[in-house]
Structure 1
């Protein structure tokens, strides 16, 4: 018994040593594979990063607060701008060609809340809330620090009152200009039907007058405009919505699908090649929420 046990002990010790050696070799092999994979990954990551960086450097950069469309338009040569137009866009919508490089900025204001149940048009004046709304609008326009050129309003009393209140808030006062063509009306029958039929438009609408008002203010800069202009127009929701559809070349029958709050600001810029940038539509965020109406 003793001899047998004494003979087997060296054998077990040798087997244990072999196992330990195998474990060490395995660990070293795995360590080498890990290190090889790690350095390979780092190597290819560096190559891919430098390749992407070189591609990005070749692309134009623009600020986060800058419209990519505006940036790319500024990079185009004048001859390129007229060529690179969408097939669905009529670049001659105003019947003009590029005559100057000046821009036209329009600030379209809807009048304030008014007494819409009054017996006559002359009595449809602003309510107390409506006057307060337009005070906020005037303050907002004044905060833009823009040298406005004109302040135009429709012939209706609520538009005149709204324009007057706006002018009172401006540091640089403007002469009020009245345009009867901006008077409220029905341009076209809306689609889908929303209570206004073609018979209503034929009886109470005045599309020719409304289109004349559009042509007066919505066009690219003419040769007699050497510098960019900033015009404020105070008028009515029906015309304003119709003008938005028309200048953006949307179906004009869609004008009643949008809502504009009282005292809201819609800002449109017309580029010298006739392209349009709508910077805001119906913005009334400057009016306290409990004073917003439509």
Structure 2
């Protein structure tokens, strides 16, 4: 029978214990390296992120637009006429004279008898009157303190302004301005049934541009509060004004469609900046009563 010496058994037991001890040490070393590498990775990521991001980020309320901040971060050189400019900040010829904005609620009149023989007979239809009742109620729901209610010299715009005024809790004096009457400003591009010959015969761009300059400008020095004006007039003039104030090509005016009784809301900031808040909004009119 083969026998194993006691010394041999003890030697094997010692080797096994040393192997187990070494194995435990290696496991602990690997775990330690893992956690060291993990925390070093987090620290390195934080350092790199802080280098890329500004120390102080602008904060905005949930209802606050980033428009003011982003606008102030960009400046465009519009002093050199030969150099194309993204935005001409001197579009109205005024300087920053105070801090008050000017708000405009631009209303297209209601549906009217467009096949009438004379301008005086181009009055609102029953549906057109109903459309403007919805428009007036929508304006009244905003709880805005309106300063002026202006309308063109055409009967359908006057009738629309009267109906709007009836829906307002605070009634306004109606102001007539014949320079806001319907017309053709420029020949549209692309061609859409209105030619340059039509513009030469029926157009009145000088009068229309004069009306634009009269109303659309930043606050003057004598304005001591924020203002809200309602202007009731016509689709051709209104969409031309939209292109003009946004500094889009004015020949694009006929590409815009505005429903009867719709609201286009524009704000002119104190530095001449423009905010087009809504364009042709008629969502407050029932779908079966919408026309254009």
- Structure-1-length-normalised TM-score: 0.81
Q: In 2, are the aligned partners of 1:111 and 1:158 still within 8 Å (CA)? A: yes
**Corresponding position of 1:231:** 229
Change beyond 3 A, Cα 1:28–1:96: closer
2:121 paired with 1:123? yes
The structural deviation recorded for 1:24 is 3.1
The structural deviation recorded for 1:46 is 6.3
RMSD: 3.4
2:209 paired with 1:216? no
Report which of the two has the higher share of helix: 1
Query: What whole-Å deviation, never above 9, does each CA across 1:170-197 have from its counterpart, x for those lacking one?
Result: 1100111111111111100011111211
The structural deviation recorded for 1:16 is 6.6
Change beyond 3 A, Cα 1:220–1:50: closer
**Corresponding position of 2:190:** 192
Q: Counterpart of 2:55 in 1: which secondary structure?
A: helix
2:126 paired with 1:164? no
Give 1:238-277 correspondences, 5 Å limit: 238-277=236-275
Change beyond 3 A, Cα 1:20–1:203: same
2:20 paired with 1:24? no
Change beyond 3 A, Cα 1:44–1:100: closer
Query: What whole-Å deviation, never above 9, does each CA across 1:199-228 have from its counterpart, x for those lacking one?
Result: 111122111221121122112233443333
CA–CA separation in structure 1 for the residues paired with 2:113 and 2:201: 24
Unpaired stretches in structure 1, ≥5 consecutive residues: 77-82
Give 1:81-230 correspondences, 5 Å limit: 84-87=75-78, 88=85, 89-230=87-228
CA–CA separation in structure 2 for the residues paired with 1:174 and 1:22: 93
Unpaired stretches in structure 2, ≥5 consecutive residues: 79-84
**Corresponding position of 1:34:** 34
The structural deviation recorded for 1:289 is 3.5
